[in-house]
Structure 1
């Protein structure tokens, strides 16, 4: 048998092929050569050869198919093990989809993966918010052709990923079907923007399969299977990341892109574990740019913005802040919009036509600071909030911080005017887009006016750490506010009577190196102009000079702060460097009736706002003020002060008392002069030691009072000044139609009610809604001289201050009454003459045949002696006002847990409280709620309903909704009431989303009369809390309370479940902190 036999069989159980050649004769040889893979002029074998063996001798030739297959089975083809090779192609890179410049990361792999047919590409992708994806852009593009193209031939798209609109597009190829571009898609939504996306894309020649695994953060993975796919091997591979061919750059950031080739690179399981190595929040290096050092803008002048453009300065950054100081020019109308700063993130900027036009912006109109931003999710290009300012803020420096961060998706504004409490704005759930182009205008933008004032040290910060919500106290150390120079005060003159017609007798003092660097001064004194003095020539009150060689009126500083008198004019000069005015002055005229009367004079300058100010008030007259805005002074090492006379001027025509010079921070003020009058000594009267008798009890007996007086060892015959000072609160529904006593002060040895002079020295009674204040007058022989003050039912239950006084210095009596949060009422009794007495009696809370006082009296004090009488400064008394009494806290568990049927019959949990909370004005209700899914909430439903009326109704009178909670649709509705405004249904709302239905939520609802406020805290699980504040709310006390839970009156049952509802009454039930989901 001379023949050749060939047996071939491809794997995977394919049919064998058999080939025979008959009658073939070979020769015998002693030398044999074997070439494997290439011989002579032939090309190399186009593939892999494994386990080739040569057999010679008997039984080597076989034609029996079963025996051949048995031989093959004894020498099976071994699996080709090709070690893995991994290449980290991209560590972290941001790509700009809008940049026409193509910037791919490209890698070429030659002879790195010879024979490899198992690959995977994996990496992390973050698609920028609001990115332009209208055209195709490349994620990665893996190609195995020597001359690569896009998809002209097999292998051009070995493994590729592209993106367009909201589609992730994955491609491969198949040799068998000669399909150059087999592709499948995965859709995503806009909420996935800004989130990390993990992709693993692989192919296996053993499985003839490609596989795609994708997963956005916090979502289930999505996979694609490409079955029955055949690839070829290659010695040359190309990989583009972020851009390829004519496609656009990837719209975002790519991190940790890895190419793997070899056994084990293909995987379908365990890919979720990749999230253990997910990228942390991107830390982008913080960059801060100084835009404006300091610039004064002319509101009505030509546009003069400071502009800067940033291109590729902040790639991938979504954390920005703008910090600056502003000072608004005083006395300037601001009726049209003006720009503070305008930060824009669009290539072609406009004002607010599209998202990003107002990334962080600040405008001003009238007394409104306007802060806009934008939100991608709601497609709102102009999300804004305002801060209102007062005129007294104008001319003062203010700090502004405006920040945004994508970590938490929020914007924040902090503003603080010097020496004022800060204002804060919060923009929650705000989403910005990524950008590579930014524009910043400072002081003017688009069609807006120039900023009406000065901008100092404006800085733009971009990168991690720029956003913050605290620590602004430290910023003031870098503010343009003048440095804090310690306040120094000098008493220049105690008291002196100057002789207008006598020789010059000034009080003079020189200050050298005492006030170096100081530019804030004040002079305070009391003056009394002498009667019967002709004031036809100039006279000096004080003359403060800041020149080394002082003169009167030759140069700047000669009249730093000065005061002169001529005729009936008080003349106040200063100077101004800016206008080169050495004698800038204003006048105050006075009348002849004010001659011989004490007057307060306060005169000051500060460079914090560059202004001077004069306050002048004659006793029992309204004050006069002078303002000198935009005044600039200079520093000096030497100052001179003359009091009472200077240079060629006459002596002051009268008396100067307690003149003080103050230099340094805190010397300048424009308020609080009421308190200065307390320091004035009426020197022409004998000073009698002030007797203060304080009574805390509701009433005091005559014996006890006399014991106080006896122990004091003071002769009351000397007293001609009396004052009664008290805080009171009337009880609701206890006002009687009969006379009641508040206090009754009597100066007769044998006291009676109203029989003779002195029986009602200072007294106070109440009937109906009237406060009745009697005294007496010897001159008119009136033993019951009285006046009344009416009050309303809304003022019942509210603390009120009563001040009642008499003085023989002017022969007058005076009443000051003010209910909390109301305007004061004043009664004047002029020309009233009292008698002296050795004995006084005081009853508090009841006297003679009158009824007891209908309420509470707190801190009643009797004062006798010089200084007890006053007519101002009562604002400071409120700092000592009564704190609501501490009533022990009681807590009641009303409901443990109940599921209410919205559509079922009414099933309220009801409880009545009688005499449980007498006098209590502090309550809270706490519970957990879970709103049932699939319930239409189109009708009002009750959560709880707390009522403080004996005959309860829903919404007919005050107290019907003391603390209540209702639901309709997707709204939580929280009403209360307010006595002060007579509002029986004062409410605010909290909206919730469908996603919060079926989720437990905490509700805390409280009221306290300590501050007169109500408060609501609500938080759904895994959501941020919501807070409602009800300031200046006044409630009444009651003996009876009703509480319904889950249903009340005509409302539907609560649409869900209420758990652990507790009612708390008493001190300590109200709180605003420490509330959180348990």
Structure 2
């Protein structure tokens, strides 16, 4: 009571420049609790101070000074809705400043002075290109975007963002890949006439490095004009749309955020302080005044802002803000487009000019060359005669990646030589020539169809050749092609080699969804691959059409030596497939009665032999032969590889086969080195057997159905019908 005490109990709240926006201050006291409480509500949160063991004098008078007192300079700015409240209920121990009568002026100020929540979201300005994709070449100095910002008061937040994708071959091709240490992307500088690395030159700047994106900023205390953070990128960024956002808040932080394709964003933080700035200049693309090579690829959806909300401080905030924004990831599918290069038959010689075609497109992930060829022997034949070549740059040196995007030759040694390329990293490494061969076996003297396609998503190439009576294919695995917007297609001859000698017809180059195919079916509603033109070049054989009337019922007597069918099938080429099938019905009492039933060990059914004058069991006599045994059908074949003349497998039949219609199909493929038999008893499911065998090479086969096999065996007793047999390529199944 003698006047002792503390006239100035001090505590502080650091404003962190949040006082540049509207903020609310409450300071209250309770005599009963001997406490003081301070609450300051900023737009970004609330901070509080508690004073304990505080004793104020009772007084009937209070003198309030708002904005300025008698001792100090005053507040500089705006003040609104100031209240001084006395009495019960005016002291708050928590930052709850609501009151039915709004005695603190909190509700009035919040509704009147504060911006609506939606206006607090970042409102970056989209540049005039919108979603247009801006090409940026490594050797082009001119920036894609230049934007200046001026203000009467210091900026509190600023930032910029864009989508970009690195491309090795666009807008200009990097012949040795991305091999410079730095490629300039963007910078925000405080200097209208900026240098490279003075204080303020790199307010927010980005380069593409080797293995990472390089983000730099500056700090005033301690002074550092080049504060660095790196964010590693994936090993393969070819064509990978990547989102960048780099921003700063004067609360003392810069944040870089990068999103690689569909992956979650990653970030890097800089605890830095920038000077108070009223001018900024944004530069995107170009060569940074010829200091660095430029980023090679594309920019799109560029945004920049110096408004409150431009600062994005976290990955979560980035996700929320850009969730509903346009993205190049949400599109990008290229519809199928067909360029018909040759739409008729043309004759050409090895020294004839090539058919040159340039195909412009929009970075497809699938593309394919296809067409028909028929070889005529030139005199003399050179080591290589070019069928076609697809390349991504012009002129071709035949040494760089992409010069053999898809290419084919007729080569010495009896081959069709097909090749592509594959990059191995972003620095230009990888083989420019990945060849595989298909032996033509002189089948190229007839019309043959060539398809060679690529699929970026699968990282695979696939080549297919349809010969007159067979087909072949090749897989090219783990293949990486550069994205390109232009393909140069040479048909019949390229710039480096002698050309194809013979006929060329119906050539197409397809790009877009569906251009990549596998298997042997290249039919298309619009005949995009010109595969269906085969009917005009190769008479199509229907393998299901029998050589005899399929309605004929062949009665086969157990004691009749004469075959029901005996026919020789011949070809000018080696046969690659053959087979036969029929319905059969065993009958005990028809056409003759078996008095003692089916009691012999073997009853002859059929055989297909590679020997026109056949014996019983020499090599090729039993290429595809069938007997009815006791409890099973007996399927035999031969194997030239190991000299086996009688390779056997059986398929059991039901206990009662009297009158049971039974379907049998037996066929062979030289390509697959298989003989396969199917059998179906009445309504039962199919059963099958497979022989892994190699038959003697032949250009003819003889088919015998029924009879007694030149009196070697009793004959199958019953009937045959719907007999089919063929030596065409579709015979095997």
Aligned match for 2:273, one of 218, 229, 235: 229
In the TM superposition, residue 789 of structure 1 has moved relative to its aligned partner by 4.9
Match of 1:62 in 2: 70
Match of 2:522 in 1: 472
Tell whether 2:410 aligns with 1:359: no
After superposition, what is the alpha-carbon deviation per residue over 1:631-674, rounded to whole angstroms, capped at 9, x for unaligned?
A: xxxxxxxxxxxxxxxxxxxxxxxxxxxxxxxxxxxxxx9999x9
Question: CA 1:229–1:314 in structure 2 vs 1: closer, same or farther (change >3 Å)?
Answer: farther
The normalised TM-score by structure 2 is 0.55
In the TM superposition, residue 87 of structure 1 has moved relative to its aligned partner by 1.6
Tell whether 2:215 aligns with 1:170: yes
In the TM superposition, residue 241 of structure 1 has moved relative to its aligned partner by 4.1
Contact 2:136 2:299 in 1 (8 A): no
Match of 1:321 in 2: 368
After superposition, what is the alpha-carbon deviation per residue over 1:401-437, rounded to whole angstroms, capped at 9, x for unaligned?
A: 322232332223343345x455443334321123467
Contact 1:795 1:819 in 2 (8 A): no
Contact 1:319 1:462 in 2 (8 A): yes
Cα distance between partner residues in 2 of 1:172 and 1:163: 15
Cα distance between partner residues in 2 of 1:126 and 1:174: 30
Unaligned runs of 5+ in 2: 1-11, 17-62, 84-105, 542-565, 598-602, 608-613, 629-633, 641-648, 655-665, 669-674, 696-733
After superposition, what is the alpha-carbon deviation per residue over 1:108-164, rounded to whole angstroms, capped at 9, x for unaligned?
A: 24557964331222333322368632333232222343x332435444333221113
Aligned match for 1:91, one of 123, 131, 139: 131
Cα distance between partner residues in 2 of 1:857 and 1:393: 44
Match of 1:726 in 2: 605
Cα distance between partner residues in 1 of 2:361 and 2:459: 18
Cα distance between partner residues in 1 of 2:615 and 2:339: 67
Match of 1:441 in 2: 490
Contact 1:96 1:436 in 2 (8 A): no
Match of 1:579 in 2: none
Any idea what SS the aligned residue of 2:593 has? Answer: helix
In the TM superposition, residue 381 of structure 1 has moved relative to its aligned partner by 2.4
Aligned match for 1:696, one of 578, 586, 595: 586
Aligned match for 2:383, one of 328, 332, 336: 336
Number of equivalenced pairs: 511
Cα distance between partner residues in 1 of 2:75 and 2:156: 33
Question: CA 1:887–1:113 in structure 2 vs 1: closer, same or farther (change >3 Å)?
Answer: farther
After superposition, what is the alpha-carbon deviation per residue over 1:856-891, rounded to whole angstroms, capped at 9, x for unaligned?
A: 9999xxxxxxxxxxxxxx999xxx9974587999xx
Any idea what SS the aligned residue of 1:370 has? Answer: strand
Question: CA 1:180–1:315 in structure 2 vs 1: closer, same or farther (change >3 Å)?
Answer: farther
After superposition, what is the alpha-carbon deviation per residue over 1:32-75, rounded to whole angstroms, capped at 9, x for unaligned?
A: xxxxxxxxxxxxxxxxxxxxxxx99999763389999xx99x89
Match of 2:455 in 1: 405
Tell whether 2:429 aligns with 1:382: no
Cα distance between partner residues in 2 of 1:126 and 1:12: 42
In the TM superposition, residue 213 of structure 1 has moved relative to its aligned partner by 1.8
Question: What pairs up with 1:793-812 in 2 under 5 angstroms?
Answer: 800-801=625-626
Match of 1:159 in 2: 204
Aligned match for 2:179, one of 134, 147, 156: 134
Cα distance between partner residues in 1 of 2:278 and 2:450: 62
In the TM superposition, residue 332 of structure 1 has moved relative to its aligned partner by 7.4
Larger Rg: 1
Match of 2:702 in 1: none
Match of 2:193 in 1: 148
Any idea what SS the aligned residue of 1:191 has? Answer: coil
Any idea what SS the aligned residue of 1:1010 has? Answer: strand
Question: CA 1:404–1:134 in structure 2 vs 1: closer, same or farther (change >3 Å)?
Answer: same
After superposition, what is the alpha-carbon deviation per residue over 1:74-98, rounded to whole angstroms, capped at 9, x for unaligned?
A: 8999999796541223524253545
After superposition, what is the alpha-carbon deviation per residue over 1:840-865, rounded to whole angstroms, capped at 9, x for unaligned?
A: xxxxxxxxxxxxxx999999xxxxxx
Question: CA 1:210–1:361 in structure 2 vs 1: closer, same or farther (change >3 Å)?
Answer: same
In the TM superposition, residue 106 of structure 1 has moved relative to its aligned partner by 1.5
Contact 2:238 2:483 in 1 (8 A): no
Cα distance between partner residues in 1 of 2:155 and 2:114: 10
Which segment drifts farther, 475-484 or 209-218? 475-484
Question: What pairs up with 1:706-725 in 2 under 5 angstroms?
Answer: 725=604
Tell whether 2:507 aligns with 1:458: yes
Any idea what SS the aligned residue of 1:248 has? Answer: coil
In the TM superposition, residue 390 of structure 1 has moved relative to its aligned partner by 4.2
Cα distance between partner residues in 2 of 1:231 and 1:286: 54
Question: CA 1:322–1:885 in structure 2 vs 1: closer, same or farther (change >3 Å)?
Answer: closer
Question: CA 1:110–1:1011 in structure 2 vs 1: closer, same or farther (change >3 Å)?
Answer: same
Contact 1:141 1:239 in 2 (8 A): yes
Any idea what SS the aligned residue of 2:289 has? Answer: coil
Cα distance between partner residues in 2 of 1:701 and 1:460: 62
Question: As a proportion of its length, which structure holds more strand?
Answer: 1
Which segment drifts farther, 453-462 or 327-336? 327-336
Cα distance between partner residues in 1 of 2:354 and 2:592: 79
Cα distance between partner residues in 1 of 2:252 and 2:540: 84
Contact 1:97 1:249 in 2 (8 A): yes
After superposition, what is the alpha-carbon deviation per residue over 1:534-591, rounded to whole angstroms, capped at 9, x for unaligned?
A: xxxxxxxxxxxxxxxxxxxxxxxxxxxxxxxxxxxxxxxxxxxxxxxxxxxxxxxxxx
Unaligned runs of 5+ in 1: 1-9, 15-54, 488-619, 628-668, 676-693, 709-723, 729-786, 804-816, 824-853, 860-873, 890-921, 923-1007, 1014-1029, 1033-1078
Contact 1:151 1:180 in 2 (8 A): no
In the TM superposition, residue 12 of structure 1 has moved relative to its aligned partner by 3.9
Contact 2:419 2:436 in 1 (8 A): yes
Question: CA 1:200–1:110 in structure 2 vs 1: closer, same or farther (change >3 Å)?
Answer: closer
Question: CA 1:881–1:65 in structure 2 vs 1: closer, same or farther (change >3 Å)?
Answer: closer
Cα distance between partner residues in 1 of 2:357 and 2:282: 41
Question: What pairs up with 1:547-562 in 2 under 5 angstroms?
Answer: none
Match of 2:354 in 1: 305
Higher RCO (CA-CA < 8 Å; seq separation 6+): 2
In the TM superposition, residue 359 of structure 1 has moved relative to its aligned partner by 0.7
Any idea what SS the aligned residue of 1:479 has? Answer: helix
In the TM superposition, residue 202 of structure 1 has moved relative to its aligned partner by 1.0
Contact 1:340 1:443 in 2 (8 A): yes
In the TM superposition, residue 363 of structure 1 has moved relative to its aligned partner by 1.3
Question: CA 1:65–1:119 in structure 2 vs 1: closer, same or farther (change >3 Å)?
Answer: closer
Question: CA 1:66–1:124 in structure 2 vs 1: closer, same or farther (change >3 Å)?
Answer: closer
Question: What pairs up with 1:884-923 in 2 under 5 angstroms?
Answer: none
Cα distance between partner residues in 2 of 1:305 and 1:59: 87
Cα distance between partner residues in 2 of 1:327 and 1:272: 58
Match of 1:1011 in 2: 690
Question: CA 1:464–1:227 in structure 2 vs 1: closer, same or farther (change >3 Å)?
Answer: same
Match of 1:837 in 2: none
After superposition, what is the alpha-carbon deviation per residue over 1:886-919, rounded to whole angstroms, capped at 9, x for unaligned?
A: 7999xxxxxxxxxxxxxxxxxxxxxxxxxxxxxx
Contact 1:336 1:449 in 2 (8 A): no
Any idea what SS the aligned residue of 1:95 has? Answer: strand
Match of 2:255 in 1: 211
Cα distance between partner residues in 1 of 2:452 and 2:518: 10
In the TM superposition, residue 361 of structure 1 has moved relative to its aligned partner by 0.8
Cα distance between partner residues in 2 of 1:67 and 1:111: 26
Question: CA 1:707–1:255 in structure 2 vs 1: closer, same or farther (change >3 Å)?
Answer: same
Cα distance between partner residues in 1 of 2:650 and 2:361: 68
Contact 1:320 1:405 in 2 (8 A): yes
Contact 1:159 1:201 in 2 (8 A): yes
Cα distance between partner residues in 2 of 1:405 and 1:268: 39
Cα distance between partner residues in 1 of 2:494 and 2:193: 50
Any idea what SS the aligned residue of 1:704 has? Answer: coil
